[in-house]
A and B are shown apart, each in its own frame.
Chain A
């Protein structure tokens, strides 16, 4: 079926145009966007582009002809798929501004079938942000708002405040929410962190049926106990390991986990170490010292950029709170335990070799704090999981990948 290409109005005052020349001849094929003919209006010469693929059949207005707006220029046979929807009709081109005309956009848009309704949970922006912060899956929260909408109060009701369970030790709890009970997981955060750094992974593990608890380690967060050594870090944690438990430690927390596993081997089902400290000497000593020095909120933001290729989404408030926490100077005594002169001081290898339970190590290949290549020092029986592109906090950068390691 042939269609007719007519002269569009190329300027507000244009009534007719003159054919300057044909760039396509009868029988010649053209593609969408190719210039077919040049038209001179009272102001300028314009190249008319094809709006669909086709083959030119007849020239109806030869070179030099004056054509009224809307008059026929040529006939053509559309060949493209969009032609079926009447793509050939030329819409008016934007008013002539004296500049080169912008080609008109393609004509018919495809009509797509309505997508399957895989609705996002209905929730207010504030509820979404709180859920994100506390690692709560919106889909699992029953909204009490209008039309079942999840509101901030629904989320706040879900995140039970950290409660002290032993003298001075604060622990955050994510109750198991999955269909099957999978026992307990204990998560130990790294130097300068707190239980909240686990929020996303903890939520994912809770969905897998694990009863997840994470303490603020001594010297950190809301815990009031002081820490001066690995042993003082580990000592109050024994009570949490009613097991056998999945024990997970990150960075300095990994060394603490090994110290715990050494004294409570029967209570630990499996040990998962994320970017562990204590394998070799290299470490970003500036980062460690910087955190311990009590940086300003701005300085802290700067330091935290080293943690992850995607820096944490902390609000100014959270950043200020974290900075205030660090400014208390409680980490000073631990700096020497972890690193001195920019070199790690802990050696976990002797204890690691003696542990009876399965041990695995997870590391991000973009870790800028402790190089992942230290995995080479691990004994052969330790499983190694490398996460491409993750930084020092793989549980931030790839929480789903790590959670999947806990699938049965």
Chain B
């Protein structure tokens, strides 16, 4: 298959289509995933191919969706449960953290929960404080849950396909502002393996560590920094569990400086975890403290101007890196 232009949304849809075709135990369950085609259109028209037994529309009850998926996974299906907004994570945290994440352990390895929770988060659509959060830290803080956060359409496809082969629960957080992003790619071409970070731009002066939509923010900053003679390396983590510290540490040891960029808010977040690990693993190689550039510790505003001010933008990254390098 040759390279073609494809959106993040269509790459996800293609992944579901291919997985459902290849594996008849894959079922999709969630609010308006069937006849309507998903709040963001990811499951559009799949019901025509696979019917309503495999695209299950549910009442508005997130605990029921995730709970049913956990049970289905334990009894032989491979459900893809859609949580319309990651902001609803609180409603399903018991099903996820106390059940899905623990069952393999509690049953001595005799049974697993091979399910994928597809959800989406982040800002960019003026969706308001209750529909714009980045809550990956809640998931990352729970041992037993895998966590993928693709930035590119190719990763959206391949990470979702891979997630649908894993024996344990995966939380798959898409970004609402990326669905319409087009990319020229060949979905048949291989990408880096699951659990391995990808260097999106090579550089020798500073390492920018990030994931999901912030990859593009960091790349934009890196391009502007290059014009000022600063070579920033951009690492896309792709999955937060597993977390590929080897790639990150190797890069930071080369550059001596690290900046972690996340859309999720600063305090107690993924950026803090990454900064701590870099500090521990690369201390003797650091020329500067590891800096976190993260979302403000505030509810996300609806106003587009305030919404974008609440999360990292390229100018902030540029100025932090310039100050670091005194250039």
Is the CB of B285 closer than 8 A to any CB of chain A? yes
* B283 is an interface residue with CB less than 8 A from chain A: yes
Q: Is the CB of B326 within 8 A of A124?
A: no
Helix, strand, loop or mixed for chain B's interface? loop
Query: In the bound complex, what is the Cα–Cα distance between A151 and B326 (angstroms)?
Result: 13
B256 and A126: CB pair below 8 A?
Answer: yes
Contact of B287 with A by CB under 8 A: yes
**A128 contact set on B, CB distance < 8 A:** 284
User: In the complex, which residues 160-190 of chain B have their Cβ closer than 8 Å to any Cβ of chain A?
Assistant: none
> In this complex, which of A125, A127, A152 has the most chain B Cβ atoms within 10 angstroms of its Cβ?
A125
Are B326 and A125 closer than 8 Å at their CB atoms?
no
Task: From known contacts A126-B256, A146-B326, infer whether A151 and B284 are also in contact, taking CB-CB under 8 Å.
Answer: no
By a CB distance below 8 angstroms, the chain A residues around B326 are 145-146
Residues in B with CB closer than 8 Å to A152 are 256, 287
Q: Could you say which residues of chain B place their CB within 8 Å of the CB of A124?
A: 286-288
Q: Which of chain A's residues have a CB closer than 8 A to the CB of B284?
A: 125-126, 128-129
A129 to B287, CA, bound (A): 11
**Shortest beta-carbon distance, A266 to chain B, in Å?**
46
A303 to B288 CA separation, bound complex (whole angstroms)? 35
Bound-state CA distance A404–B284 (Å) is: 30
Q: Which of A125-141 contact B (CB under 8 A)?
A: 125-129
- Number of A residues with CB within 8 Å of any CB on chain B: 10
A272-305 to B contact mask, C-beta < 8 Å, 1/0: 0000000000000000000000000000000000
Q: What is the 8 Å Cβ interface bit string for chain A, positions 147-164, against chain B (1 contact, 0 not)? A: 000011000000000000
Q: How far is the CB of B84 from chain A (nearest CB, A)?
A: 36
Residues 141 to 198 of chain A near chain B (Cβ within 8 Å): 145-146, 151-152
| A374 → chain B closest CB, angstroms | 38
A320: min CB distance to chain B, Å: 14
Chain B residues with Cβ under 8 A from A145's Cβ? 326
B287 cross-chain contacts in A, Cβ below 8 A? 124-127, 151-152
What's the minimum C-beta distance from A30 to chain B, rounded to whole angstroms?
42
Q: Which partner residue on chain A sits nearest B279 by CB separation? A: A125
- Give the nearest-CB partner of A152 in chain B: B287
Count of inter-chain pairs, beta carbons less than 8 A: 22
What mask results when residues 103 to 129 of chain A are scored 1 for a CB within 8 Å of chain B, else 0?
000000000000000000000111111
Q: Mark B284-327, 1 if CB is under 8 A from A, else 0.
A: 11111000000000000000000000000000000000000010
Contact with A along B241-271 (1 / 0, CB 8 A): 0000000000000001000000000000000
Q: State in angstroms the CA–CA spacing of A4 and B32 once bound together.
A: 65
Taking the nearest CB of chain B, how far is it from the CB of A314, in angstroms? 12
Complex Cα–Cα for A146 and B286 (A): 15
Q: Which of A125, A127, A146, A151 is close to B283, meaning CB atoms less than 8 Å apart? A: A125
Q: In the complex the two chains form, what is the Cα distance from A135 to B286 in whole Å?
A: 19
Whole-angstrom distance between the Cβ of A122 and the nearest chain B Cβ:
13
Give the docked Cα–Cα distance between A151 and B256 (Å): 11
Closest to A146 in B: B326
How far apart are the CA atoms of A152 and B288 in the complex, in Å?
A: 11
Chain B residues with Cβ below 8 Å from A129 are 284-285
Closest A residue to B283 by CB, please name it: A125
User: How far is A338 from B254 in the complex, measured between Cα atoms in Å?
Assistant: 41
Give min CB distance, A127 to chain B, whole Å. Answer: 8
Q: Which residues of A contact B256 (CB under 8 A)?
A: 126, 152
How many Å from the CB of A224 to the closest CB on chain B? 31
* CB-defined contacts of A127 to chain B, threshold 8 Å: 287
Among the listed A125, A146, A151, which residue makes an inter-chain contact with B285, where contact means beta carbons less than 8 Å apart? Answer: A125
- CA separation between A145 and B286, bound complex, in Å? 14
B256, B284, B286: residue with the most chain A Cβ atoms closer than 10 Å:
B284
**B204 smallest CB distance to A (angstroms):** 13
Chain A residues closer than 8 Å to B288, beta-carbon distance: 124
1/0 contact string of B270-285 vs chain A (CB within 8 Å) = 0000000000000111
Task: Report how far A145 CA is from B256 CA in the complex, Å.
Answer: 14
A133 → B minimal CB distance (Å): 10
Q: How far is the CA of A127 from the CA of B256 in the complex (A)?
A: 11
Q: How far is the CA of A129 from the CA of B253 in the complex (A)?
A: 13
**Alpha-carbon distance between A128 and B286 when the two chains are bound, in angstroms:** 10
**Which residue on chain B has the smallest CB distance to residue A151?**
B287
List the A side residues contacting B285 at CB < 8 Å: 125-126, 129
Q: Closest CB-CB distance, B221 to chain A, in whole Å?
A: 21
Q: Which residue of chain A is the closest to B256 with respect to CB atoms? A: A126
| A243, chain B: closest CB distance, angstroms | 39
A153 — nearest CB in chain B belongs to which residue?
B287
In angstroms, how far is the closest chain A Cβ from the Cβ of B89? 27
CA distance A151 to B288 in the complex (A): 9
- Please measure, in the bound complex, the distance between the C-alpha atom of A151 and the C-alpha atom of B287, giving whole angstroms: 7
A188-218 residues at the B interface, CB under 8 angstroms: none
User: In the bound complex, what is the Cα–Cα distance between A125 and B283 (angstroms)?
Assistant: 6
CB distance from B106 to the nearest CB of A (A): 21
A129 to B286, CA, bound (A): 10
Enumerate chain B residues within 8 angstroms of A126, measured Cβ to Cβ: 256, 284-287
* Nearest-CB residue, chain A, relative to B288: A124
* Shortest CB distance A16–B (Å): 34
> A128 vs B284: C-alpha distance in the bound complex, in angstroms?
8
Q: How far is the CA of A152 from the CA of B255 in the complex (A)?
A: 12
Q: Give the chain B neighbours of A146 by CB distance below 8 A.
A: 326
Question: How far apart sit A257 and B242, CA to CA, in the bound complex (Å)?
Answer: 57
Q: Which residue of B is nearest A128, CB measured?
A: B284
- Measured between alpha carbons, how far is A152 from B284 in the docked complex, in Å? 11
Q: In the complex, which residue of chain B has the Cβ closest to the Cβ of A130?
A: B284
Which residue on chain B has the smallest CB distance to residue A129? B284
Closest-CB distance, A312 to chain B (whole angstroms)? 15
Residue of chain A at shortest CB distance from B282? A125
User: A354 CB to closest chain B CB, in angstroms?
Assistant: 48
A124 to B257, CA, bound (A): 11
In the bound complex, what is the Cα–Cα distance between A127 and B285 (angstroms)?
8
Q: How far is the CB of B280 from chain A (nearest CB, A)?
A: 11
The chain A residue sitting closest to B323, CB to CB, is: A146
Complex: A128 Cα to B287 Cα, angstroms: 10
The complex places the Cα of A146 from the Cα of B256 at a distance, in Å, of 16
Query: Given known contacts A124-B287, A126-B284, what 10 new A-B pairs fall within 8 Å (CB)?
Result: A124-B286, A124-B288, A125-B285, A126-B256, A126-B287, A128-B284, A129-B284, A129-B285, A145-B326, A152-B287
Offer 11 A-B interface pairs, CB within 8 angstroms, sorted by A. Answer: A124-B287, A124-B288, A125-B283, A125-B285, A126-B256, A126-B285, A126-B286, A126-B287, A146-B326, A151-B287, A152-B287
Q: Which 6 A-B pairs have the closest CB atoms?
A: A129-B284, A125-B286, A124-B287, A125-B283, A126-B287, A125-B284
